[in-house]
Every structure is written in structure tokens, then in C-alpha cells.
Structure 1
Amino acid sequence: MKTDSDADDRNAPVAAVLFDWDGTLVDSLPVVTEATNRVLVAHGFPALPADAVHDGMRLPTIPRMALHAALPDDEHARGLAQRMADEFYRIAVEVGQERVAFYPGVLDLIDRLAAHGVALAIVSNNRRSVLEPLIDVLGLRSRFAVVIGEEDVALPKPDPEGVLRALEALGVAPGRAIYVGDSSTDAGAAAAAGVRSIGAGWAAHATGGAALATFDLTCSVAADLARYALRRNVSE
């Protein structure tokens, strides 16, 4: 139930912006597709087109690998999915350190928010052990005060646990935060946490997609998000 204090928070300056990682800050679909297909083929399963891999990226890695390999729900299959996920993590870091790239305008967005004192965090269904080497390669370690990955929560998005953990670590109330993502699981996690959600319309695979309709607002370019987040923080 919303309270008067919630409404007051939402009218206050934005204190924190939380981001999904894959498909929001970075165009990681080529990396995830290559790593996924290398694992699938190594285990005798057919490679998948990028759109099928992207569809699975709403899930944490273990159930995603089970989905892509059409594994049954039994103990042997669960063990195989775990091994495939472990292989994926290793390959994704290897490939990602060479190929991961920001979407246009994202680095400027991060720099502008940080320059105005907005706290930044990442909340992803990917593993933190995969994200952190890529964050280092991109030179972003000092920008993000908190990184929450799938190993840090009991339940993945759309459960709000990761978003709420990040806010607690930042010391920011939900009403003073924004969560930015590209999938309905991101929008669902934000809504459940009481956080405003913004769809990353600059992501090529998300533009015009039905997932964007689940967000409170969509920004077509990263600069629009900076203007929205800072509209009450600074006089523009």
C-alpha cells in the first residue's frame, strides 16, 4: 500500500539509479549468444539463433541453459544444466573481455549521473562473478557502488530482492530510486520493490518490443534518461 511518505519520496530528487546489465548498459547479446552456443554444441545440442538466446536471457543462467537444451526436470538434467552454466560463465568472461561494448550514449549517461551525485548500482540475473571482470575491463569499477548478481539473492528478478538489497546497501528509499532495464522481469522487479521503472529503448533488440510497454516510462536514447533522472536534481 502506498503511503503519503511514498508520494513525498517520488517528488524528491532522484538519489539512485539502478541498472540491469545485459541489454541495458551493454550490448552483450553477441557475447551471450556465442558463449551459449559453444556450450550447447559441446554437449551435443544444436546452436540457437540470437533471438532465441535473447528470449532466454530473462532467466538466470542455470534454468536458461535447461531451457535452451530442452532438458527434462530430473536430477541428472539439473546436474547437467549446472555444469553447462559453469562452462558458460567461464566462456562469457573470456569472450566478453574482448567483445563487450556499451550502447551509444551509455558512458556519458553514467558519467553525468555520477557527476551530479546520483548513486549507481547494477542488479542483474547474471552472475556477479561474470559481471565484475567486464566492469573492470570497461573501467567502471569506481562508478558502481553496488553490484548484485544471481548468487547474491535467493530469488531472481522479477522478485524484488535484488533491487531492495541494492537500495539497502546504498541507503536510498525506493521512492527516490529508478530501475532501468529492458525486459518485463526488470519492470516486474521494480514494481514489486516500489521503484519507478524505465525501459532502455536504446537497446536494439528492445526497441518497439512488447517488454517496453511494461515499464513506467521508456527512454529512446540514454541522454533522455539523464534528463529525466536529473530534472529535479539540477536546474537545467
Structure 2
Amino acid sequence: MSISMRQDRPNKNVAGPVQAVIFDWAGTMVDFGSFAPTQVLIDAFAGFGIEISLEEARGPMGLAKWDHIKTLGQSPDIARRWIARHGSAMTDKDVDALYAAFLPLQIERVGQYSSVIPGALDTIAGLRKRGIKVGSCTGYPRVVMNPLLDKARGDGLVPDHAVATDDLKPGGRPGPWMALANVIELGITELSSCVKVDDTAPGIVEGLAAHMWTVGVALSGNEVGLTLSELERISDAEREQLKGRAAEKLFAAGAHYVIDTIADLPQVIVAIEERLAHGDRP
């Protein structure tokens, strides 16, 4: 276990203790390695005669899924494959068609990949003992979020609030709206007393845009992209190398802290509350 912290100069204004933590879902609380979105995207593109790799599918992770698909279609390599197969560049109508193919597959399979990440239940129970509320948001639309919530409840994971990417008209990440919707619903009085936890760069940017502390998740998330069993089989040196690369991307996005998995979050909450007590703000 390790925790890293961004080095910068704090903005000193008085704020209270941590009031809420806003979690991402896949790669953060459930779905170690974030496979539910990526595998289905690969299958959806295959249905249109386009082969994409797991690494390519992971690239825009954190965005709303329609935006994710469009971003993939605009990447140079995939765009060339699409033109070679279909004779012209991907249009918004093509994105609509891909999304329509993706959605039922995602609804069907989200539960298959979304086991609770080790340490999540204990961490959330510990937050509640400290009087901290538990919010959440996701790149999934509501029709995917609802079966995911049902699966999570059955596993004992019950957030105080959950926002799907299509619940709000302004849209999803990297804008701050889903994080701020949690603030409103949970009755939070100070943005700088909130912590956003996410395994993707757009999720970190979301938290910063909402003026929250941000915590990146490296080993269980999209940037490393391995199952727990795969991660346990590799050497310590390889694991550290993968973690370092993931942390670099999350820090580059603006993360204040980077942890291995959600199990390491309690120590960061203590550190943030100490900083808040000294007048620091994100």
C-alpha cells in the first residue's frame, strides 16, 4: 500500500472537516480493473466490423459512453479503420448506432464484472462512522446504473446518492455537474469539505471543476487495467512500474493524492482533515 501527494502551495481559507466523499464506480468501488465498459465497447465496435484493442477502448474512460464512443471514432487509427470499412468518417448518426448496440450489451453484462473491490465496504463503513456522507457518480447512463446499483446493494454497497451521466442536462465529465448534484442532494455546505475519488483523468478534472479535493485510484483502475488475480501474479517491480505510470497520469490530471485502491482512502481522509484544520483548501 502506498499514498502519494501532489506538491503545491495551499490556498489558505478556513473550512470544516470532510463532509462527503463522491466516488466513481467502475475501477474505484467495483469492477477491479474496469472491465465492464471496455469489453462491451470492443464487442459493440466488432458488430460494425471494426476491431479495437482493450488499450484503445480504455483511452477515453471516464467520459459519458456516447462521448466515449465518439472520441474513439475520432482517434486517428480507429478513424482510418472506420473509413476503410465504411467509406467515410464516423458521423454522429454512426455514434448513435454504435451506442444503440452498446447499451443493451452493457445492461446485460454490467453485473458480471462489477464485484465490489476489496476494502470498499470497510472504507465506506469507516466514513459513515466519521459522519461523512457517501455520494457517487458514473459515466454509465441511468439504464445501466440501475442494475449496477441493484447488484451493489446485494453485495452490501449502498451509497447515500448516485448520479448517472444522463441524469443532468449539462452532461457528464469532465464538467462538475454530477459531483455538484451530489453536493445538493447530500446537503453539503462547503465544496472544499468534499473529496472526489476516481480512477480516470476526466473524473479527477470533474472533482477539480467542482472545487473538491481529488484522489486518484491507480492499481484497481482503468490506467493499470488488470484483474486482481492478474495483478497478484506479476512481479513487485512490474506492479510498481504500472502503478507509477497510472499515478503520473492521475497527477497530470490534477489529483491531490493517488492511492492504490479504495482500501487506502481512510489515511487520505485523515490527511485532508488535518490540512482543512490548518486552513488549507484544494
Partner secondary structure for residue 62 of structure 2:
coil
Matched, 1:227 2:242: no
Distance in 1 (CA, whole Å) between partners of 2:157 and 2:42 is 33
Q: 2:38 aligns with which of 33, 36, 44?
A: 33
**Map of 1:122 onto structure 2:** 136
Gaps of 5+ in 2: 1-10, 74-78, 225-242, 275-282
Distance in 2 (CA, whole Å) between partners of 1:228 and 1:83 is 43
Partner secondary structure for residue 147 of structure 1:
coil
- Relative contact order, CA 8 A, sep 6+: which one is greater? 2
**Map of 1:61 onto structure 2:** 65
Distance in 2 (CA, whole Å) between partners of 1:157 and 1:141 is 27
- CA root-mean-square deviation: 2.7
Identity rate, percent:
20
Distance in 2 (CA, whole Å) between partners of 1:143 and 1:230 is 23
Q: 2:218 aligns with which of 171, 195, 201?
A: 201
Go from structure 1 to structure 2 and tell me whether the alpha carbon gap of 1:75 and 1:147 turns closer, same or farther (over 3 Å shift): farther
- TM-score if structure 1 supplies the norm length? 0.83
How many correspondences in the alignment?
225
Q: Which has the larger radius of gyration?
A: 2
Distance in 2 (CA, whole Å) between partners of 1:96 and 1:125 is 13
Distance in 2 (CA, whole Å) between partners of 1:98 and 1:143 is 18
Deviation at 1:141, TM superposition (A): 7.9
Gaps of 5+ in 1: none
Q: Deviations over 1:15-66 (max 9, x none)?
A: 10001122222226322222112211112212x2221111121322112223
Q: 1:7 aligns with which of 13, 36, 39?
A: 13
Is the 8 Å Cα contact of residues 103 and 202 (structure 1) preserved in structure 2? no
Is the 8 Å Cα contact of residues 182 and 200 (structure 1) preserved in structure 2? yes
Distance in 1 (CA, whole Å) between partners of 2:205 and 2:265 is 19
Partner secondary structure for residue 57 of structure 1:
coil
Distance in 2 (CA, whole Å) between partners of 1:142 and 1:67 is 32
Go from structure 1 to structure 2 and tell me whether the alpha carbon gap of 1:142 and 1:199 turns closer, same or farther (over 3 Å shift): closer
Is the 8 Å Cα contact of residues 137 and 163 (structure 2) preserved in structure 1? yes
Matched, 1:216 2:256: yes
Distance in 2 (CA, whole Å) between partners of 1:174 and 1:7 is 12
